[in-house]
Amino acid sequence: MSAATAVEIAGIKMKNPVMTASGTVGFGEEYARYLDLSSLGALVIKTITLKPRAGNPPPRIAETPAGVLNAVGLQNPGVEALVREVLPRLACYDVPVVVSIAGETVDEYARLAARLDGVPGIAALEVNISCPNVKAGGIAFGTQPDMAAEVVQDVKRNTGLPVIAKLSPNVTDIRAIARAAAGAGADALSLINTLTGMAIDVDRRRPLLGNISGGLSGPAIRPVAVRAVWQVYQAVNLPLVGMGGIMTARDALEFILAGARAVAVGTANLVNPGAAGEVIAGLARYLEEQGIADINELVGAAHRGGGGSRC
Amino acid sequence: MSAATAVEIAGIKMKNPVMTASGTVGFGEEYARYLDLSSLGALVIKTITLKPRAGNPPPRIAETPAGVLNAVGLQNPGVEALVREVLPRLACYDVPVVVSIAGETVDEYARLAARLDGVPGIAALEVNISCPNVKAGGIAFGTQPDMAAEVVQDVKRNTGLPVIAKLSPNVTDIRAIARAAAGAGADALSLINTLTGMAIDVDRRRPLLGNISGGLSGPAIRPVAVRAVWQVYQAVNLPLVGMGGIMTARDALEFILAGARAVAVGTANLVNPGAAGEVIAGLARYLEEQGIADINELVGAAHRGGGGSRC
Amino acid sequence: MSLVLDCRIVSHHKVALDCRRLVLATPEVAAVARPGQFLHVRCNGTADPLLRRPFSIHDVDRERGLVTLLYRVVGRGTALLATRRKRQKVNVLGPLGRGFQVPLECRRVVLVGGGMGIAPLFFLVRELAVDLTRAIWVLHGARTAGELNFVNFGALPVHLRVATDDGSLGFRGSVVGLFKELAPEVQPDWVSAAGPTGMLRALGQEMRRLGLPGEFSLEERMGCGIGACVCCSCRIGSPENWNYQRVCADGPVFPAGEVVWE
Amino acid sequence: MSLVLDCRIVSHHKVALDCRRLVLATPEVAAVARPGQFLHVRCNGTADPLLRRPFSIHDVDRERGLVTLLYRVVGRGTALLATRRKRQKVNVLGPLGRGFQVPLECRRVVLVGGGMGIAPLFFLVRELAVDLTRAIWVLHGARTAGELNFVNFGALPVHLRVATDDGSLGFRGSVVGLFKELAPEVQPDWVSAAGPTGMLRALGQEMRRLGLPGEFSLEERMGCGIGACVCCSCRIGSPENWNYQRVCADGPVFPAGEVVWE
Ligand SMILES: Cc1cc2nc3c(=O)[nH]c(=O)nc-3n(C[C@H](O)[C@H](O)[C@H](O)COP(=O)(O)OP(=O)(O)OC[C@H]3O[C@@H](n4cnc5c(N)ncnc54)[C@H](O)[C@@H]3O)c2cc1C
Ligand SMILES: Cc1cc2nc3c(=O)[nH]c(=O)nc-3n(C[C@H](O)[C@H](O)[C@H](O)COP(=O)(O)OP(=O)(O)OC[C@H]3O[C@@H](n4cnc5c(N)ncnc54)[C@H](O)[C@@H]3O)c2cc1C
Ligand SMILES: Cc1cc2nc3c(=O)[nH]c(=O)nc-3n(C[C@H](O)[C@H](O)[C@H](O)COP(=O)(O)O)c2cc1C
Ligand SMILES: Cc1cc2nc3c(=O)[nH]c(=O)nc-3n(C[C@H](O)[C@H](O)[C@H](O)COP(=O)(O)O)c2cc1C
Ligand code: FES
Ligand code: FES
């Protein structure tokens, strides 16, 4: 069973295609009692910055139809605490750890990459160029091809680790950003980060979130995410990690069929701390039921018109 | 009650701020038995093109979490049938009729505007520059400020009617498009049209919609739509028509507080053909309960930190 | 005339594995519904699932003001509907659509139902059977015997024939195979059918071969159900010259010879 | 240790307008729960509403393995929860959070509950009352008398005082007003409180004035409930030097003197 689900992304060998989405399981440990971390394809931990960040004022989360708005504001203890305290503790789990990084300048990304280079226990870096809550000069890196390319290139220059660029859906043409990141040397692409959204508290007549706007995630955005994977799969020749509203194995299959080699479970963890484990089990069961020897056969299959017939 | 809810958009005097969203109530008549059309603020009918259009192959609709993907493909009988058959029948309702227009070239928009100029029974034109299903040279008019401006300008030149530009959310910065449309002479802005999305039929391993991708609407997109209204309210000084997932009066109030002078009910009509009427009644009730003499006081109130207090 | 109504559930039973019979109190619908029409049902009140689900009207009791639906639990909507209990309310929109129209002059009518396609045919039989001079055959196909026994034509003056894919009851094979076998003997002058696309397509070919007229009830994913959103298109006309028509408003029943399969 | 469990509903009753008492069979939670901890509850199984809802543990019956919640129907989640019936299952995650910690040396303890803030205090009283040498006052505030009568402290060795905004029962005014009135006479050495932000803030001021220690149970919108998503932040420390802590994992109960109001 496990052989059938094994995939490789940017040189990371994973038992199965199921990762956690950055920011939704913290540094993993809170989830260890609900989820066998070692059973994951990879553990992507919450985005880290050079200096500790206090994050945004509450409320930081609002519920929307089939979705969640969050404005955590990248609260994190900073890269030194990560290296000193978090990574050593994660070493006891048999799972590739992907460290997500973000900065307010290109230089900060580069310095983070350099700082983490050679640190044991890191399988890859995920470059979060898309977080809508970080106002780096007003617009996010991930919305401009040239800025996205610059960040990825400088990160690549400063690390020997595989680099996954995480794209934002808040753009006119996500393919252009994907091509830029690919051209700059990204080894894989994660898509998508959250959509920018907001909610108004009608009683208070004020924005609900302390930060006014936030990032929309959860099942509500799945159609946007599947479309992004579909488009980028046709535009670049890199392995893709698909995410956005995956709650079940069937949701994960939508992404895989659209072209994702791996998937990440995000908001679902907030609802059901065992969600990722259920997706892993469900994928294995699907392969068995359908008699598929290798999950890689399904990657992008919906483009080929393969399998099943229209009836 | 009705005085309190009256609003004016681009010179259109409306009994209340509630319009129908183009494409979701056809030409209105199918809804007449569920909804008193004369009670609407305005009736926006489905987008019309110069020539009749057959539309996309089925399936044209897919359900997604708290949302709907549609790929109707602007099926419509063409502008001549509209003028000859539809508009005369709508004349018997006491409601401003807004005609939505779309073309594949700037010239088609201009010709549509010219053809409709002087035709009785039209309160305004809504320029649909954002429909994701129409592939005009590949990208939609509404995604480029210069193209959006050109369309609006040419429509304005060819009509004496008020012109509402309907914006697409599938852009990096909706304010830039809003400014372009405003600069080109738009009298009001409608936002938002659908988000581009898709769904995969896991059983068939093929895209679910006949057209592969479609437009996402419904409650799922409300946070994105409210954010768009909030941003554009700060960027341009035009009346805004807010829409995206409005199911109830409370949802409508989110848009109004974010800056919309009017709102449109779309997907909700598919679920509940009386939805627009319920939103109208709910708004009137809210004004009464809150002792608000004029709904216009609420427009954009969430920007001013007015009303209610954080507790 | 169709309505949006909150209808009380009078009874709701499992009639076979995955199949439910739902009886709703709705005199308004019962009074006007015609065979082949459908109800557009909200399975629960939340935004997920959002859209209504269409179900054919299976039976009507005008006197008691009852309407019966027969449905199979296939996905989320029907699974949620199945949790609703007696005395709770279900919001329905209907009756909708253009139903069956068996010409008066047709005297030897064959009704072909594949799977849940049998649901609307029961109501049609009730209506047709009022005229006792007409001969009616019902051919009902299913995968296996367990999926057949929940529609009771016993009291009605029809010739019932069943087909099962696994041969566990009646004819072994598809209901179209059964139709082919019976047609020479029965000599029908009209066919009304409902069921999966594959079945209707095969039946249509056979009817064309025999020069037989008839009508098919089609299914397509729906939005509004009332003809406004044009989401439920099917191709009607001839293979060379067709246009899109709306299953919900122009159908769901269309002349068999005019259905153009994708 | 906390768990994700499908718990059977043992009983579910309306106890006042808009208020429900929900008893769940969950020996696992009952065995380990502490006063002030909460359960994170899925109100239904669909994606709308998506998130769990936090509710304080109101009472525990360790022997019978039961856990009681007391909640007010305020929005969609609680409205859906209210439709669940006896014998159905509810998915819960818990027990979660750091509960009340009344120091052993405090002998004159006042518990102040505003509105539904009374819910966790009942469980706390049960625990404190085991030590009969301790004097316990419960001050319960509500808008009106009808919102008070559903928590029965009758059998417990506490001094119960109530306040209603409309004066329909007990002290007329806020529960903080009642506290101010009673404090000189009672001379408490500890205060544990739960309720709306405005009430806790006012109570905190009064406690500071009197130099009284104590603890507050806070509420904030939650995601995960288990300390991972850092969505449920509150400010803890001093007005000049605070940091964000997590209501779900570092709280919900915090030292009264360290809560920094926004
Ligand atoms: C006119 C008409 C009459 C029908 N009558 C009956 C009946 O009497 N008994 C019965 O069991 N079923 C009937 N169906 C099919 C029934 O509507 C679907 O089985 C049901 O919508 C499935 O919903 P779900 O949420 O359980 O499935 P899901 O697969 O979760 O549904 C997802 C989406 O697909 C749509 N969908 C799924 N299957 C179909 C289908 N076959 N046709 C159209 N849309 C579909 C749903 O409406 C929904 O939008 C009828 C369909 C039509 C169009
Ligand atoms: C630790 C803790 C313990 C609680 N204990 C109780 C209790 O014992 N009894 C009781 O009646 N209520 C309690 N509450 C409040 C309860 O969680 C909310 O009333 C409930 O979540 C409202 O959900 P809704 O869907 O009905 O309301 P909606 O307003 O529709 O909820 C929308 C969103 O707002 C959040 N929300 C709404 N009100 C609150 C609130 N006061 N605090 C935090 N989030 C909120 C919801 O969780 C949801 O995400 C507690 C809250 C917390 C944080
Ligand atoms: C509470 C929360 C916090 C998040 N924090 C981060 C983060 O720190 N870095 C990041 O790259 N993405 C972050 N995300 C985005 C997710 O990783 C993911 O891209 C997005 O939520 C879509 O997936 P989902 O719908 O499965 O959640 C966060 C999402 C949520 C809900
Ligand atoms: C079935 C359907 C058809 C639509 N057709 C059109 C159209 O013809 N022209 C247009 O401008 N918008 C069209 N829209 C978009 C709506 O007008 C509206 O902008 C969008 O759906 C968001 O609002 P909602 O979430 O309330 O539906 C259509 C939407 C749906 C669901
Ligand atoms: S479902 Fe809307 S036209 Fe048929
Ligand atoms: S709710 Fe996730 S950290 Fe508290």
Per-residue pLDDT tens digits for D118-132: 999 999 999 999 888
Q: Do A311 and C197 touch (CB under 8 A)?
A: yes
Distance of CA D150 from the midpoint of ligand 3 (Å): 42
In whole angstroms, give the CA distance from residue C100 to residue B284: 44
Distance of CA A148 from the midpoint of ligand 1 (Å): 45
Among A66, A310, A311, the residue with its CB nearest the CB of C47 is A66
Whether the per-residue pLDDT at A311 is higher than 90: the answer is no
Assign B53 to helix, strand or coil: strand
Mean of pLDDT values over C171-184: 95
Q: Tell me, what amino acid is at A37?
A: L
Catalytic site residues of B? 131
The pLDDT, as a whole number, for residue B2 is 55
Mean of pLDDT values over C102-106: 94
In whole angstroms, give the CA distance from residue C208 to residue C214: 10
Q: Do A302 and B200 touch (CB under 8 A)?
A: yes
Q: Do B253 and A202 touch (CB under 8 A)?
A: yes
Can you spell out the DSSP letters for A63-95? EETTEEEE-----B--HHHIIIIIHHHHTTSSS
Can you spell out the DSSP letters for B171-198? SS-HHHHHHHHHHTT-SEEEE--PEEEE
**Are residues D9 and D23 in contact, defined by beta-carbon separation less than 8 angstroms?**
yes
Assign B221 to helix, strand or coil: helix
- Give the tens place of pLDDT for each residue, C38-81: 999 999 888 899 999 999 999 999 999 999 999 999 999 999 99
Q: Is 0.90 surpassed by the pTM of this model?
A: yes
Q: Which residues of C touch D (CB under 8 A)?
A: 44, 46-49, 76, 80
Strands D108-114 and A195-198: unpaired
Ligand 3 atom with minimal separation from the D230 CA: 1
Ramachandran region, residue B146 (left: φ > 0; alpha: ψ -120 to 50; beta: rest): alpha
- Give the tens place of pLDDT for each residue, B245-302: 999 999 999 999 999 999 999 999 999 999 999 999 999 999 999 999 999 999 999 9
Block residue for tokens 């490789």? A8
- Give the tens place of pLDDT for each residue, C225-247: 999 999 999 999 999 999 999 99
Mean of pLDDT values over C21-30: 96
The pLDDT, as a whole number, for residue A305 is 64
The pLDDT, as a whole number, for residue B131 is 55
Q: What average pLDDT does chain C have?
A: 94
Using the Cβ of A202 and the Cβ atoms of chain D, whether some distance falls under 8 Å is answered with no
In whole angstroms, give the CA distance from residue C227 to residue C245: 10
Mean of pLDDT values over A228-243: 98
Indicate which residue's Cα is closest to atom 15 of ligand 3.
A193
Radius of gyration of chain A (CA): 18
The pLDDT, as a whole number, for residue A138 is 63
Higher pLDDT, A295 or C262: A295
- Chains with 3 or more CB pairs closer than 8 angstroms to D? A, B, C
Mean of pLDDT values over B87-103: 96
The pLDDT, as a whole number, for residue C16 is 85
Higher pLDDT, D36 or A105: D36
Question: How much of chain A, in percent, has pLDDT values that exceed 70?
Answer: 94
The pLDDT, as a whole number, for residue C185 is 93
Block residue for tokens 């309190």? B4
Can you spell out the DSSP letters for B72-132? ----B--HHHIIIIIHHHHTTSSS-EEEEE--SSHHHHHHHHHHHTT-TT--EEEEE---T
Dihedral in degrees, nearest 10, Cα atoms D113, D114, D119, D123: 0
In whole angstroms, give the CA distance from residue D233 to residue A57: 8
Indicate the range of B135-139, C67-71, D222-226 predicted with least confidence.
B135-139
Mean of pLDDT values over A98-108: 94
Provide the token pair at B46: 């489905």
Indicate the range of B17-21, B219-223, D56-60, D155-159 predicted with least confidence.
D155-159
- Give the tens place of pLDDT for each residue, A217-227: 999 999 999 99
Angle between helices A275-290 and A249-258 (to 10 degrees): 70
Indicate the range of A61-70, D42-51, D53-62, D108-117 predicted with least confidence.
D42-51
Whether the per-residue pLDDT at A134 is higher than 70: the answer is no
In whole angstroms, give the CA distance from residue A29 to residue C142: 52
Indicate the range of A259-273, B149-163, C129-143 predicted with least confidence.
C129-143
Strand partners, A184: none
In whole angstroms, give the CA distance from residue C195 to residue C212: 18
ipTM above 0.90, yes or no: yes
pLDDT band at B305 (very low <50, low <70, confident <90, very high): low
Assign C109 to helix, strand or coil: strand
Can you spell out the DSSP letters for D150-167? TS--TTSS-EEEEEETT-
Q: Do A67 and D221 touch (CB under 8 A)?
A: no
Whether the per-residue pLDDT at B132 is higher than 60: the answer is no
Whether the per-residue pLDDT at A310 is higher than 70: the answer is no
Whether the per-residue pLDDT at B220 is higher than 60: the answer is yes
Catalytic site residues of A? 131
Whether the per-residue pLDDT at A132 is higher than 60: the answer is no
Question: How much of chain C, in percent, has pLDDT values that exceed 70?
Answer: 100
